[in-house]
A and B are shown apart, each in its own frame.
Chain A
Amino acid sequence: MDRSLILGLLIFLTLLAMPFALPLIGQGYLTGLIIKAMLLAIAAISLDLLIGHGGLVSLGHAAFVALGAYAAAIALQSGIENILVLLLITLALTGFVALITGSLALRTTGVYFLMITLAFGQMAYFTLTSLAAYGGDDGLTLWSLATLFGSNVVQKGNGLYFIVLGTLLASWWFVNRMSQSRFGRVLRAARDNPERTEVMGYSVTRYRLVAYVIAAMIAGVSGLLVMQHAEFVSPALAAWQRSGDLIVVVVLGGLATRNGAILGAFFLVIVEELLGSFIHEWRLIYGPLLVFMVLFAKGGLSDLLTSKRRGNQVA
C-alpha cells in the first residue's frame, strides 16, 4: 500500500478517536478547533481540485463557502430546518452560480483566471454586505439551527463533529477517487497541455467547467457546516483574504497530493493556535515561516511527510 494512503488512513483514524480521547485528558474543548481545521480542509480539498488537478488558480473560492453558508442561513430563516433539504438548496445555488461565473471565467487562463475569479468573489462579497434584511455587513446570528428530521444530533458536540468528519472523509475520498478516474485524467491532461488535450478530442473548457462546479459545490457544503458550527454567517466569509488563506493551505500542503489539503489546513490552524498562545504578535513569526517553507520545503508538507519526490506541476 502506498505511503500517502497509509498517512491518510492514520489521519482519519486519529480524527475519529479525538472526541473520545480528548475528554480523557481534559482537553475536550479542542474538538472545536479540530472542527474548524476540518471545515478549512474541506474547502481546501475542493480548491485543490481546481489548483492542483486543474491548474486553475482561483482567488474567489471563499465566495462559494460564503454562498453555501448564506443559502442555508436564509433558508433556515424562512423556516426550512431539515439539513438534507438545506444541503440540496446549498448545492443547487452554489452549482448554479458556479456554472454561470465559471463559463465566463474559463474564457481566460493563468493569472487572468485568478483575477476574474477575484472579481466574481468581490462581487459576491459586496452583494452579501448589501443584504440588509440578513444583517448586511454585521452578519446574521442564527437563533435556530438545522435539524435532521427534527432531531438535533446535527447541531452540537460530537454529532456535529462526526457530520463534519464524515463530510471531510467523503470529499477526500471523492476527490482522490476522481483524480484517478477518466475525468480526473482529462482534467490533469488539460493542466499539462491544454492544446494537446483539445487535439486529443476533448473540449477542455467543458471539463474545467465541470470541475469548477463540483469544487464550488463542495465548498458550498463546507459553508453549510460553517454556518451550523458558528451559528452565525457574515460577508467576511467571502473576503478575498479568505480565498488567499485557502490558496496558502493548498500550496503549503502540497498540490494535487492525496492528503495535502488536510495537512495544510491543520498546519495553519495549529501554528496559529500554538504561536498565538506564546506571543500575541505571532504573525511576526508566521510570515517568515511561510517564506522559509517556500524557500526550503519545496513540494509542500505532504512531501515532507511521505518523502516522495515530486515536481511542482503548476506554473
Chain B
Amino acid sequence: MQQLIKTTIASALFATFISSAALAEDLKIGMVVTLSGPPAALGQQIVDGFQLALEEKGGMLGGQKVELIIEDDELKPDVALLKATSLVEKNEVDFVVGTVFSNMLQAIFKPVVQSKTFLISPNAGPSTFAGSNCNPFFFVTSYQNNQNAEVSGMVANAEGFKNVFALVPNYQAGRDNVDGFKQTFEGQLTDEVFTPLGHQDFSAELARMSTSDADAVFAFMPGGMGVRLVNQFANAGLSENMKFMSVFTTDETTLPGQKDAAVGFLAAGSWAPDLPVDANLAFVKAFEAKYGYVPGSYAMQAYDTASLIDSAVSKVDDLSDKDAVRAALKAADFESLRGDFAFNNNHYPVQDFHMLNVVKRDDGKYHTSFVRTLAEDYADSFHEQCKM
C-alpha cells in the first residue's frame, strides 16, 4: 500500500517538477484512466506500466522530454469528458492515452479526435470504433473487446468441451463476450445467464451450474465480481467436476483476491507474464522490482503504448504534421512485449492469441501462464467495415 502512496506522490511531484520546467519542445501526453473506486487497480497498472517505460527511457520518448499529465475519470462519463477536454484545450497535449473502460472511451472519444489529437487506448477496444466509426486519430494497443471471448471459444474447442455454461454481467460488454464466444465455439451452449452488474451472491447461478449438464463454464466477470465468483465457485466444490475458463476474470488484478481458488483455471489472451519473449521477461522483472506486484495485461499494454509513442515520435520531425504522425504510429515500429504486433486498417492490433492458465509461483504469488498459441495474427471481425 505504501508503495501506492509513494508512487502517487512521486508521480505528482514528477509531474509538477516537469511542468514547471516545461520547454516548448516538450512532448505532452495526457492520460485519462480510472483511479477511483474498486476498478482503480486497473488504472494504476496502466499508470505504472507507462511510467516504467518512461523511466527506462530516461523520461524521454522519441528523444523528447515528456510531460505526463495523469487524470482520473472516476468512472463517471462527465468527469472523463471534462478531463479530456481540459487536456486537449488547456494543456494542448500531443497524445491522449486512455481509457480503461469502454464507456469512458465513448465519453471522451469525440472531443479528442475532433480536436485532431491522437487518442490511443491502452485497454478499452469497443466494437463501436472498430467498424464504420473507425477514426484516423484513434489507435488501440490492446485488442478488440470481442477477441478474447472468440479465442475462449477456441480454447473450449481445443480442450474438447461439448457443453458450456456461459455467465456474464448484463451490459454491452457482457453481451459482446457471449456473442464472441458463440462465434468460434463449436459445441453446445447449455445456458446463457446474465447477472446484474456488481452481482454479490453467485450461489443461485452456481446451483444452476451444478444441476446443468455442462462440462465447463465460460465467464466474463471483471473486477470484484470475478473475485466473488471464483471464491464462491471453489467454496461450492464445483472445481472438482467442472472446468472454468474466462476472460478478465482471473487476471493479475484479481488473483491476489482469488489465490488458490483460481489455480488451474483457463483463460484466453494475447499475453501472460511468462510469455517467452525476452523483452517481456525483463519487463516483468523490472516491474515487480519497482512496484512490488505482478503486472497484468493492463501494465503491459501501457508499456507498449509508451513504446509505440516513442517509435512514432522519433520518426517524425514535426508533431503538427498529423499525417506523418499517423503513418509513424500505423507502422508500429516498436518491440512489443507480446512479440509480433501490427495495426490493422482500423488501427486495432493484429496479434497472436494464446491459451493461458492460472499458476502459483514458488514465491507464493499467482499469475496467468502461457500454455500455447491458438490464433496467429488474429484480426478482429469488424475491420472490413472500416473505410479509412
Question: What are 27 of the A-B contact pairs (CB < 8 Å)?
Answer: A27-B90, A28-B90, A29-B90, A32-B85, A32-B89, A33-B86, A36-B82, A129-B171, A135-B172, A137-B171, A138-B106, A138-B171, A143-B110, A230-B77, A230-B81, A231-B111, A232-B77, A232-B78, A232-B106, A232-B107, A232-B110, A234-B103, A236-B77, A276-B72, A279-B12, A280-B8, A280-B72
Interface members, chain B 78-131 (any A CB < 8 Å): 78, 81-82, 85-86, 89-90, 102-103, 106-107, 109-111, 128
**CB-CB < 8 A to A231: which residues of B?**
81, 110-111
B35 in the interface, Cβ–Cβ < 8 Å?
Answer: yes
Interface members, chain A 224-254 (any B CB < 8 Å): 226, 230-232, 234, 236-237
**CB-CB < 8 A to A140: which residues of B?**
106
B197 in the interface, Cβ–Cβ < 8 Å?
Answer: yes
Q: Which residue of B lies closest to A35 (CB)?
A: B82
**CB-CB < 8 A to A139: which residues of B?**
77, 103, 106-107
**CB-CB < 8 A to B387: which residues of A?**
none
The CA of A129 and the CA of B109, in the complex, are separated in Å by 21
A307 in the interface, Cβ–Cβ < 8 Å?
Answer: no
Q: With contacts A232-B81, A280-B8 known, is A141 near B106, CB below 8 A?
A: yes
A136 in the interface, Cβ–Cβ < 8 Å?
Answer: yes
Q: With contacts A29-B90, A141-B110 known, is A280 near B35, CB below 8 A?
A: yes
B199 in the interface, Cβ–Cβ < 8 Å?
Answer: no
Q: Which residue of A lies closest to B89 (CB)?
A: A29
Q: Which residue of A lies closest to B129 (CB)?
A: A141
Main secondary structure of the interface of B (DSSP, over half): helix
Contact indicator B172/A138 (Cβ below 8 Å): yes
Contact indicator A226/B89 (Cβ below 8 Å): no
A71 to chain B, nearest CB (A): 18
Contact indicator B89/A28 (Cβ below 8 Å): yes
The CA of A36 and the CA of B76, in the complex, are separated in Å by 13
**CB-CB < 8 A to A237: which residues of B?**
78
Contact indicator A226/B110 (Cβ below 8 Å): no
Q: With contacts A27-B90, A136-B172, A230-B81 known, is A141 near B76, CB below 8 A?
A: no
B162 to chain A, nearest CB (A): 30
Interface members, chain B 162-200 (any A CB < 8 Å): 170-173, 175, 197
**CB-CB < 8 A to B106: which residues of A?**
135, 138-141, 232
The CA of A143 and the CA of B175, in the complex, are separated in Å by 23
**CB-CB < 8 A to A236: which residues of B?**
76-77
The CA of A237 and the CA of B107, in the complex, are separated in Å by 13
**CB-CB < 8 A to B82: which residues of A?**
32-33, 36
Q: Which residue of B lies closest to A279 (CB)?
A: B12
A145 to chain B, nearest CB (A): 10
Q: Which residue of A lies closest to B11 (CB)?
A: A280
Contact indicator B90/A234 (Cβ below 8 Å): no
Size class of the A contact interface (CB-based, 8 Å): 20 to 34
A residues lining the B interface (CB < 8 Å)? 27-30, 32-33, 36, 129, 132, 135-141, 143, 226, 230-232, 234, 236-237, 276, 279-281
**CB-CB < 8 A to A30: which residues of B?**
90
**CB-CB < 8 A to B175: which residues of A?**
132
Given A234-B107, A279-B12, 18 extra CB contacts under 8 A: A29-B89, A29-B90, A32-B85, A36-B78, A132-B175, A135-B106, A135-B172, A138-B102, A138-B172, A138-B173, A143-B110, A231-B110, A232-B78, A236-B76, A276-B72, A280-B8, A280-B35, A281-B8
Contact indicator A137/B110 (Cβ below 8 Å): no
Within the complex, which residue of B72, B85, B171 is in contact with A136, where a contact is CB–CB below 8 Å?
Answer: B171
Contact indicator B107/A230 (Cβ below 8 Å): yes
The CA of A16 and the CA of B107, in the complex, are separated in Å by 28
Interface members, chain B 258-297 (any A CB < 8 Å): none
B91 to chain A, nearest CB (A): 8
* Cβ contacts B289-322/A at 8 Å (1 or 0 each): 0000000000000000000000000000000000
Contact indicator B197/A137 (Cβ below 8 Å): yes
**CB-CB < 8 A to B72: which residues of A?**
276, 280
A202 to chain B, nearest CB (A): 40
A135 to chain B, nearest CB (A): 7
B164 to chain A, nearest CB (A): 24
The CA of A315 and the CA of B111, in the complex, are separated in Å by 45
**CB-CB < 8 A to B197: which residues of A?**
137
Contact indicator A138/B78 (Cβ below 8 Å): no
**CB-CB < 8 A to B133: which residues of A?**
143
Q: Which residue of B lies closest to A272 (CB)?
A: B79
Contact indicator B78/A230 (Cβ below 8 Å): yes
The CA of A236 and the CA of B103, in the complex, are separated in Å by 11
The CA of A28 and the CA of B171, in the complex, are separated in Å by 37
B327 to chain A, nearest CB (A): 27
B5 to chain A, nearest CB (A): 8
**CB-CB < 8 A to B76: which residues of A?**
236
**CB-CB < 8 A to A27: which residues of B?**
90
The CA of A72 and the CA of B110, in the complex, are separated in Å by 19
- Rank and list the top 9 A-B pairs by shortest CB-CB distance, nearest first: A29-B90, A137-B171, A29-B89, A138-B103, A138-B172, A141-B106, A232-B107, A234-B77, A32-B85
B123 to chain A, nearest CB (A): 15
The CA of A137 and the CA of B102, in the complex, are separated in Å by 11
The CA of A275 and the CA of B103, in the complex, are separated in Å by 26
**CB-CB < 8 A to B8: which residues of A?**
280-281
The CA of A288 and the CA of B145, in the complex, are separated in Å by 41
**CB-CB < 8 A to A141: which residues of B?**
106-107, 109-110, 128
The CA of A139 and the CA of B76, in the complex, are separated in Å by 11
* Cβ contacts B12-42/A at 8 Å (1 or 0 each): 1000000000000000000000010000000
The CA of A150 and the CA of B109, in the complex, are separated in Å by 24
A70 to chain B, nearest CB (A): 13
The CA of A243 and the CA of B86, in the complex, are separated in Å by 26
The CA of A36 and the CA of B170, in the complex, are separated in Å by 31
Q: Which residue of A lies closest to B126 (CB)?
A: A138
A27 to chain B, nearest CB (A): 7
**CB-CB < 8 A to B110: which residues of A?**
141, 143, 231-232
**CB-CB < 8 A to A280: which residues of B?**
8, 12, 35, 72
A249 to chain B, nearest CB (A): 15
**CB-CB < 8 A to A137: which residues of B?**
103, 170-172, 197
The CA of A279 and the CA of B8, in the complex, are separated in Å by 9
The CA of A276 and the CA of B69, in the complex, are separated in Å by 13
A30 to chain B, nearest CB (A): 8
